[in-house]
A and B are shown apart, each in its own frame.
Chain A
Amino acid sequence: MPAVSKGDGMRGLAVFISDIRNCKSKEAEIKRINKELANIRSKFKGDKALDGYSKKKYVCKLLFIFLLGHDIDFGHMEAVNLLSSNRYTEKQIGYLFISVLVNSNSELIRLINNAIKNDLASRNPTFMGLALHCIANVGSREMAEAFAGEIPKILVAGDTMDSVKQSAALCLLRLYRTSPDLVPMGDWTSRVVHLLNDQHLGVVTAATSLITTLAQKNPEEFKTSVSLAVSRLSRIVTSASTDLQDYTYYFVPAPWLSVKLLRLLQCYPPPEDPAVRGRLTECLETILNKAQEPPKSKKVQHSNAKNAVLFEAISLIIHHDSEPNLLVRACNQLGQFLQHRETNLRYLALESMCTLASSEFSHEAVKTHIETVINALKTERDVSVRQRAVDLLYAMCDRSNAQQIVAEMLNYLETADYSIREEIVLKVAILAEKYAVDYTWYVDTILNLIRIAGDYVSEEVWYRVIQIVINRDDVQGYAAKTVFEALQAPACHENLVKVGGYILGEFGNLIAGDPRSSPLIQFNLLHSKFHLCSVPTRALLLSTYIKFVNLFPEIKTTIQDVLRSDSQLKNADVELQQRAVEYLRLSTIASTDILATVLEEMPPFPERESSILAKLKKKKGPSTVTDLEETKKERSADMNGGTEPAPVNASAVSTPSPSADLLGLGTGPPPNAAPAPASSGSLLVDVFSEPASAVTQLAPGSQENFASPDLASSELVSEEPSEAARGADELTHKFVCKNNGVLFENQLLQIGLKSEFRQNLGRMFIFYGNKTSTQFLTFTPTLICSDELQSNLNLQTKPVDPTVDGGAQVQQVVNIECISDFTEAPVLNIQFRYGGTFQNVSVKLPITLNKFFQPTEMASQDFFQRWKQLSNPQQEVQNIFKAKHPMDPEITKAKIIGFGSALLEEVDPNPANFVGAGIIHTRTAQIGCLLRLEPNLQAQMYRLTLRTSKETVSQRLCELLSEQF
């Protein structure tokens, strides 16, 4: 046979390949290829009709060139011609070319399909096989349209050859994956199920894959496959190693088929019929028993095949999660693998144990392996294995072993690979918080994290430690003492300076009695780090200093001297300069009482979700984290639950913002805080990222938390479907004063929005509805932000399923964080394939600055006082414009509320005018905003005035609101 294969045919091709291989440089190769392309082109164009053999040879050369990575833009027609050749090898090369290169040449599809049709009808099994391979390889919608009806017939026909049946089964599977709507279920399905009983194991192997995929989408229709699969599996696992002849692989009977059958059974719950269930349990026990037998061969193929079946059996046991005995046996088996000399087995055992850890039956059994897993962390040489060990430690962690696991993770972090450090930091932070019995331990752990891996400690982590310290007065003194000590280190990480600065600014007084940490020493210690820090940290430290002025009047003059120095008052950075000027002024003019009020200790942080957990989910995808959390929820009756102040707010901590403080808008809990649902027990139970609960929140009737303004405005703004033609800006304007509605609609697609915002965070649910009865393929929505916008607005989302069934709706969640004020809107681009055509839709996503408004109620006197404070010309922006809508005061009021600000009654002496106030929340600052709208009915005009502490904010809000009236 080798002689056949090597010597046959195309000598010219071999010569060409040699030439290419002999090319000394890339240039030489390209030159040779271009010469060849020119030659082939001239042959194809030449007058002389080429014989089939030459055509085959040239087509094969083109294919080779393409596979080298070059583009090929001709030869398709010649390849199609080869399809209708009667010579097998010519046909074969033609099909290969089509399989690899078919793409844009849609006019050829008809010709190709014709050739395939002829071959399918030829009754020549070899030709039928080629045609089916081609369909399976290309798998396009056009092919599905042409052949999805025909292939099931070939598959179940009594006279079809076995090899053709195999190809037909997998060909149909491929078509079903790309175009399920074109593969209607029918009489053939029950006959396909019976292929599980076929005598030919190759047919069973191919059919099982098809049945598994079909059963996932149509479980009822394929229910009978369960008992057939169990009896087939039973026959295989009890057969002697030689029974199955060529289907035995290194003494393992039919490993591929066994794995596929076990996989099929994972589409269903445990069998209800006790006989079937008993037989399956026997099978699984046999597989587990075989793992304990001495190997029949030393070859790795033997153990791999055997263990492949074993791991799949364990997956099924975990999937059923109903037989404690089997679960514990599985766990013990995996425990053995944890110490196996094969790296692959250790890796898989760690991975598989992660899922076992979340079953209540095996959680304890998994925990017994803790020492081995910790050891793996220390000794494994492959980072991907160590990563699995970290995952498993995280999964097996509970209150009994949290201290040990956290200590070991911290230990490992000292030498951990850079690629996984951030994730370990997040995991440690979560476990430390979740299982903290003693919050001093928690504080120590986080400070250790910062010491060991400061660069990988994200904002979320250090925000969180501050939140917890502020919310728990039993730990504040300890925290102050500990950060003070940690700051003594000659080189400490900037994140430690931030945490230290913040905590001492709040609670430094608790340790000031000790002469070793007197106020002056605390101040000098912090100030010694000041010049090494970045601007945001320095800004934070300046806030600490002004807090010190209040806490420690005795060092007020020292601090004033520092604030007064040129390096502060004339600092090139505007934020630092402003803080220095304002703080100095504040410390000079304000009485002790006022200082004490303004610089009061921060109120407890309202909360709902651990921002760290959210971050880990973002990194790892939803399933990994959520599942573990969900299943462990029961067990985690830890002290976090219930003791925290009633949470409502999802926002992270913001650094004390001087401008907001001075305006007096920033203190106190958010005015619209509503009590949290009683069910939000544990801090870590993540209400927000469960789509189901989020959607119920959005449902009418439960909107009081956030959407009340919309109730008013939704009546005013039309809900009718928008059209593609409508201007993008107009669309954005439509959503300025409301959060829900239809963003886009054409004949194919409807996009709906629901969103909610709180402080500087938001969450938007985008619903994509397929209005047709045909599937959308490669459905890819993308969010596009300019570089500038990206630095001001942080959008996070996950890809959606690339297939959207006809009539179905898919949902995408976008998490929004406003970092700084912004003007542009992000663009949502959607690409997908509908039928044969490519669709591309772009719409602006209505995320506007006013979404981050928090309304502020205030009395007339306060309003005018602040109004006067914001008298700087840059702070005010005014617009006079013509009314575009009827001037109805009730509608206007609703719009101002919908815009996000509070509507202040009885402030303006003129009752016809409207006055509003609120705070724009961004991560970096909180900006107090005041607004006044004066209608002039006779002229049908408005005058709108915005005053805020930031020019760009005044400007943007004025633009947005002007468009609404």
Chain B
Amino acid sequence: MQFMLLFSRQGKLRLQKWYVPLSDKEKKKITRELVQTVLARKPKMCSFLEWRDLKIVYKRYASLYFCCAIEDQDNELITLEIIHRYVELLDKYFGSVCELDIIFNFEKAYFILDEFLLGGEVQETSKKNVLKAIEQADLLQENQNEDWGGLSDDIL
């Protein structure tokens, strides 16, 4: 996989993960172009499309579009299920996930993705194993927050 983008129906980018080195300018250009292309497609259309020399696999969940770019030899259907498994992971973690969860906890969305996909390849497909890794981290976080008594956070 070359990259994954999450964006809203309004075209706002919610998450971007790049597995190939590209300049910021190029990333922005690709994002703009793809968001436009995908949003212009009607529901019930095929989830795959050719774009430049890549294949785009996308799926919409509620207000969010999940969009992956894969190479010519990669498997479209399994990519569709990569998207689904990621959605399941987010859902399980946040408890019926919605767009707001991803906006306010964007760093968590990245952490979960890193446990699931690394370097553009599937690292761990077991839901239990992925979430176990994240849970452990949260546990560490909780303990540490107790040190601060939850009081130290100022508004700014």
Contact = CB atoms under 8 A, between A and B. Distances in A.
A8 B129 CA distance: 22
Interface residues of A, number: 89
B75 A381 contact: no
B75 A92 contact: no
Nearest to A18: B104
B138 interface: yes
Contacts of A621: 53
A14 B104 contact: yes
B123 interface: yes
Given A10-B153, A170-B121, A344 B105 contact: no
A17 B104 CA distance: 7
Interface string B120-156: 1111111111000101111111101100100011111
A92 B137 contact: yes
B156 A39 contact: yes
Interface of chain A: mostly helix, strand, loop or mixed: helix
Contacts of A173: 119, 121
B126 A246 contact: yes
B63 to A, nearest CB: 14
Contact of A347 (B48, B81, B137): B48
B62 interface: no
Nearest to B96: A2
B37 to A, nearest CB: 11
Given A308-B75, A343-B46, A166 B141 contact: no
Interface string A3-16: 01110111110111
A1 to B, nearest CB: 6
Interface in B71-100: 73, 75-78, 80-82, 84-85, 93-95
B129 A246 contact: yes
Interface string A84-104: 000111001100100010010
Contacts of A778: 21
Contacts of A129: 133
B50 A384 contact: yes
> Sorted from nearest, which 4 A-B pairs have the closest CB atoms?
A308-B77, A174-B119, A2-B95, A308-B78
Interface of B: 13, 15-16, 19, 21, 24, 28, 42, 44-50, 53, 73, 75-78, 80-82, 84-85, 93-95, 101, 103-108, 110-111, 114, 118-129, 133, 135-142, 144-145, 148, 152-156
Interface of A: 1-2, 4-6, 8-12, 14-17, 21, 36, 39, 51, 53, 57, 60, 63-64, 67, 69, 87-89, 92-93, 96, 100, 103, 126, 129, 132-133, 136-137, 139-140, 163, 166-167, 170-171, 173-174, 177-178, 201-202, 205-206, 209, 245-247, 249, 254-257, 259-260, 263, 266, 301, 304-305, 307-309, 311-312, 315, 343-344, 346-348, 381-382, 384-385, 387, 621, 777-778
29 contacts: A5-B93, A5-B94, A5-B138, A6-B104, A12-B155, A12-B156, A15-B155, A64-B106, A67-B15, A87-B140, A92-B137, A96-B110, A96-B111, A129-B133, A136-B118, A166-B124, A167-B118, A173-B121, A202-B129, A247-B125, A247-B126, A263-B73, A305-B77, A308-B76, A308-B78, A308-B81, A348-B48, A384-B49, A621-B53
Given A2-B93, A8-B142, A344-B47, 15 more contacts: A5-B108, A11-B155, A12-B153, A21-B103, A69-B13, A89-B140, A167-B118, A171-B118, A205-B125, A206-B121, A206-B123, A249-B125, A256-B122, A304-B81, A381-B45
